[in-house]
Amino acid sequence: MSDFNVREADWEREAEAIRRVRETVFVVEQAVPADLEWDGLDAVCKQVIAEDANRDAIGTGRLHPSGKIGRMAVMARWRGRGVGAAILERLIGLARHEGLEEVFLHGQTRVLDFYARYGFVAEGEEFDEADIPHRMMRLKI
C-alpha cells in the first residue's frame, strides 16, 4: 500500500492546499514571480492533488482544456518516491477521459528524462520561462 494518494481536486474547495504546494515549490524554491505563477487559469483546469496518509497536500498538477499539463509540483521531502509519476499518470488519464488525442507541457530541462519515461517527446528549441530553461514536450494518447 502506498503512503500517498493522488486524486482529482476541486479548485474552489481545495485552492488553499494547492496554492500552498505551488507557493513552496515554485515561488519560494524556484523563485518564480508570484504574478507568473498565478495566471488566472486554475478555475478552468482539471486539478489533481497528492496527499500523504494524514491528507496533507504533498503535490499537485493541472490539465488545461487545451491539453497542456502544467504546474506539476511535489514537496521536497516527497521527491523521488513516485509522487510526480502518480500525478502525471493521473493527468494523462484525465486527458484520455476528456477525449484529448494528445497532451503537451513545458518541461524544465533538468527533468526532461522524467517526462520522456512516460512517452513525452521534446520538440523545438530550449526557451526560458520564469528564467528557467524549458522545452516543449508532447505525448500522443
> Digits of tens for pLDDT over the chain (141 positions)?
479 999 999 999 999 999 999 999 999 999 999 999 999 999 999 999 999 999 999 999 999 999 999 999 999 999 999 999 999 999 999 999 999 999 999 999 999 999 999 999 999 999 999 999 999 999 999
What pLDDT score was predicted for residue 93?
Answer: 97
DSSP count for the chain of H helices, then E strands: 4, 7
User: What is the C-alpha separation between 89 and 23, in angstroms, rounded?
Assistant: 23
- Domain annotation for the chain: domains and CATH numbers: 4-104 (3.40.630.30)
pTM comes to 0.94
- Over its C-alpha atoms, the chain yields an Rg (Å, rounded) of 14
What pLDDT score was predicted for residue 2?
Answer: 74
